[in-house]
Amino acid sequence: MKALRRFTVRAHLPERLAALGELSTNLRWSWHGPTQDVFAALDPGRWEEIGHDPVRILGEVSPERLEALAGDAEFCGRVDAVAADLRAYLDRPVADFGVRGIAYFSMEFGVTEVLPNYSGGLGILAGDHLKAASDLGLPLIGVGLLYRSGYFRQSLTADGWQAERYPALDPQGLPLRLLTADSSPVLVHVAMPDRRVLTARVWIAQVGRVPLLLLDTDIAANDPDLRAVTDRLYGGDQEHRIEQEILAGIGGVRAVRAYTAAAGLADPEVFHMNEGHAGFLGLERIREYLAAGHDFDTALAAVRAGTLFTTHTPVPAGIDRFPVSMVHRYFGGSSGESESPLLPGIGVDRIIALGREADPTVFNMAHMGLRLAQRANGVSRLHGAVSRDMFNPLWPGFDAAEVPIGSVTNGVHAPTWAAREWGELLDTADCPGAWERMRGLEPEQLWRIRATLRAKLVGEVRRRLRESWRQRGAADAELNWVGSVFDPEVLTVGFARRVPTYKRLTLMLRDPRRLRDLLLDPERPVQLVVAGKSHPADEGGKALIQQVVRFADDPAVRHRIVFLPDYDISMARYLYWGCDVWLNNPLRPLEACGTSGMKSALNGGLNLSILDGWWDEMFDGENGWAIPTADGVADDERRDDLEATALYELMERTVAPHFYDRGADGIPARWVEMVRHTLHTLGPKVPADRMVREYAERYYAPAAAACRQVTDADLGGAREIAEYRRRVEDAWPGVRVVQVDAAGLPDTPVIGARLSLTARVDLGGLGPADVTVQAVLGRVSPEDDLSDTTAVAMSPAGRESAESALEVFTADTPVPLSGAVGYTVRVLPSHELLATPAELGRVANA
């Protein structure tokens, strides 16, 4: 007999152990080892079986056991110590970055495996962002959805095909609490088509000092189809997806308002979209200003000032798009009206314009995100450049390098991902100090930890492999060989990630014979652990997984290569700890950042990667290896062949020899020095606290200041910039550079020679104070294209004559380059409330 529905009943804690309640629901335990140790002590065996889940262990330990522990002075002392440590952590002074509050929106958050609200790197990044914000004391609120079945659990069929299952999650059995007001659950309401209303309650996951608000539609107030809006992450059709994104954006803002009101906090000044999924949040904030009596353009200016958009995709195909007809259905009235109950006061045509792209039948969520945000960034230096190029059409007339999209390279939360052995060796939990002290460790200390972590991984590989074969139908009597899979002394390579085509899961299988020779080399063998999930609808990705599984099933190599299903945080931890080499071979430049290699580096793993994402800027020649790329080769098959060959040669000629070249003491000196160098140099660069600090200083603080500028005095600044924008839009068709004259250069100019320029400009009715006129100098190609440019502001010199409408601008500047040099003149909008001259997407080039 099966249960109709499950729910969790939490144990009544003895008064002496009452602190375990708060310790179990504040997710700081997920990166605090001593707190985990306290929960493990309740029942060490069961703790391992249930996957290190404090809430669950409290529900499964018997009352008799709890009463006995309440009388155990030593255990109670440990509880008191970690409770006091949590209280001290929560009471630390809040960092002053000049921001009163940030709301951080993401469709997924990977904080811990016991809260499976993530699918991959985007969610893990979001979870690490919250943890680092908590550690730094940044006043941040996370906002997302609570998926009742998470993403999916992965297993393999007998023939190696991916199978998915969606276990139902009980919020009462998770480290969550309901948001309440006046002792009643807070409900968020969002209008849907056909006069229906979607209602969601709000759960709070406490991530250290940061609250994470998760909206949940699985409540009796909703019709069955609306209850299912938050059933699965990235599941369902486009209707399901747009409903989730409307709830995340519009409902998310309403949840933030309810939370700050209940907690007595100021409303956030900055709203951060982690990808475009929650882009509708900007429309809800515009609606709020409209309801207060402001016009649309003023409201848009106020919203833009305090909004940051982070893009994570390097290709247009990765952007969420919806049919315009669908947007009309959800945002227009049920009978075709231009307004609907969802966002009263906002015409649907204004909404469509925000998501406009080249195809007029498509609504583009990333384009809307960029139009609703005054600031935007990519997630690595290279990805910033790729993003500027990809979105360049939104800024016509500008070179890609001038597109106002910056970059903050992603980071990872070191206390979560670095093995405890490193902190224990250094006798410090202070990560910044730890990286500096790595320089003083003896080679045998470094090698001993690496060997210990590799051995832990080998044990976990065997455990998971045995369980996987059981799920595939094997009997225990057939699995004796699993006990000899992997060797703690063998060079171990890891490859684990989602399985889209561009990540090239099977590049390693390009030449099966050569891979087999690497695995079975009698003197320098390699063992390879592979993991990753394919989206349930991606049959091509599933076929790639099956290809790897079938190769790994071969009895001749199965002791040296494994595919482990159900890749999640709990598995990833062992992989990052134990792998000697972290392999990454995406098609360059399609890896926006890729943080798995960072987590490996925090544990002394050496990266073997294509120069893409974060590795493109942090590889220094001593912290791993760069796989040569076949850039410019148009044939995909040929490119894969060339790059696979480069990978094999690196493994055979460099990587494996470094690992097995041992001294008389049995230690590979060159390898250990690379490990030391990696820990010392990458340790300070890859942590999420560096990333979040950069966001705070470069984006949050300027956005907060801009928000205050435009919203003070009843949105006086927003009205000013909105009116300026209207004047520019009206006048710009008439703005042109009429004539440019040059003087001053000698017949044979040299670098530094003075060049005098005079431009006569028709401003179309604008004044000189409304614009900036620039002389742009740079190298010039045979096609007259400028590069390596320098922009010089030209000074207004008044009207050409009393009768003329032309304004004169002049500049006197040294020539900055040698060789073929050229110049041009251009006109840009200029206002103190613009973040960059390119913000309005307007330029008049000579």
Cα–Cα distance between 655 and 664 in angstroms, integer?
A: 20
On the 0-12 / 13-18 / 19+ scale of CB atoms within 10 A, 809 is: buried
pLDDT value at residue 334: 64
Q: How far is CA 341 from CA 263, 331, 348, in A?
A: 28, 8, 12
pLDDT value at residue 5: 66
Is the separation of the CB atoms in 540 and 162 below 8 Å?
no
SS (H, E, C) 59-104: HHCCHHHHHHHHCCHHHHHHHHHHHHHHHHHHCCCCCCCCCCCEEE
Q: Do domains 102-326+365-407 and 434-686 have the same CATH topology?
A: yes
Structure tokens that stand for 581 in this block: 């080499």
Is the separation of the CB atoms in 482 and 558 below 8 Å?
no
Could you tell me where the DSSP H helices lie in 553-612?
569-578, 596-601
Is the separation of the CB atoms in 405 and 387 below 8 Å?
yes
Is the separation of the CB atoms in 284 and 701 below 8 Å?
no
Give me the residues paired with residue 777 across strands: 790, 823
* Beta strands 375-378 and 406-407, pairing class: parallel
Write the DSSP symbol of residue 247: I
pLDDT value at residue 177: 97
Structure tokens that stand for 129 in this block: 């962002």
Q: Which residues of 431-458 are buried (b: 16+ CB within 10 A; e: fewer)?
A: beebbebbeebebeebbebbeebbebbb
Q: What is the dihedral of CA 381, 384, 390, 395, to 10 degrees?
A: -140
pLDDT value at residue 686: 96
Is the separation of the CB atoms in 101 and 139 below 8 Å?
yes
Cα–Cα distance between 277 and 355 in angstroms, integer?
A: 12
The pTM is what? 0.96
Give the HSE-up count for residue 543: Cα atoms under 13 Å, Cβ half-sphere: 4
Mean pLDDT by 10 residues, the chain (846 residues): 68 92 97 97 96 96 95 97 98 92 98 95 97 97 96 96 94 96 96 95 98 97 96 93 98 98 96 96 98 97 98 89 96 72 92 96 98 98 97 96 97 96 68 73 94 98 98 96 98 93 90 97 98 94 96 98 97 98 94 96 97 97 96 92 96 98 96 96 95 98 98 97 98 97 88 94 97 96 92 95 93 92 96 96 96
- Give the phi and the psi of residue 57 in degrees, each rounded to 5: -65, -35
421 CB contacts (<8 Å, ≥6 apart)? 449, 452, 453
Q: Which residues of 341-371 are buried (b: 16+ CB within 10 A; e: fewer)?
A: ebbebbebebbbebbbbeeeebbbbbbbbbb
Considering the segment(s) 434-686 as one domain, its CATH architecture is 3-Layer(aba) Sandwich (3.40)
Summarize the chain as % helix, strand, coil (round to 5): 45, 20, 35
Cα–Cα distance between 159 and 188 in angstroms, integer?
A: 46
Taking the domains of the chain in order of start, what are their residue ranges?
Answer: 15-90, 102-326+365-407, 434-686, 730-845
Cβ neighbours of 5 (radius 10 Å): 6
Per-residue pLDDT reduced to its tens digit, 567-602: 999 999 999 999 999 999 999 999 999 999 999 999
Cα–Cα distance between 606 and 622 in angstroms, integer?
A: 9
Cα–Cα distance between 140 and 359 in angstroms, integer?
A: 37
| Chain centre distance of CA 675 | 27
Considering the segment(s) 102-326+365-407 as one domain, its CATH architecture is 3-Layer(aba) Sandwich (3.40)
Is the separation of the CB atoms in 502 and 313 below 8 Å?
no
Give the HSE-up count for residue 146: Cα atoms under 13 Å, Cβ half-sphere: 28
Is the separation of the CB atoms in 530 and 552 below 8 Å?
yes
| Chain centre distance of CA 808 | 48
Kindly provide the residue ranges of all beta strands, DSSP E only, lying in 628-753, ordered along the sequence. 735-743
pLDDT value at residue 8: 67
730-845 under CATH 2.60.40, yes or no: yes
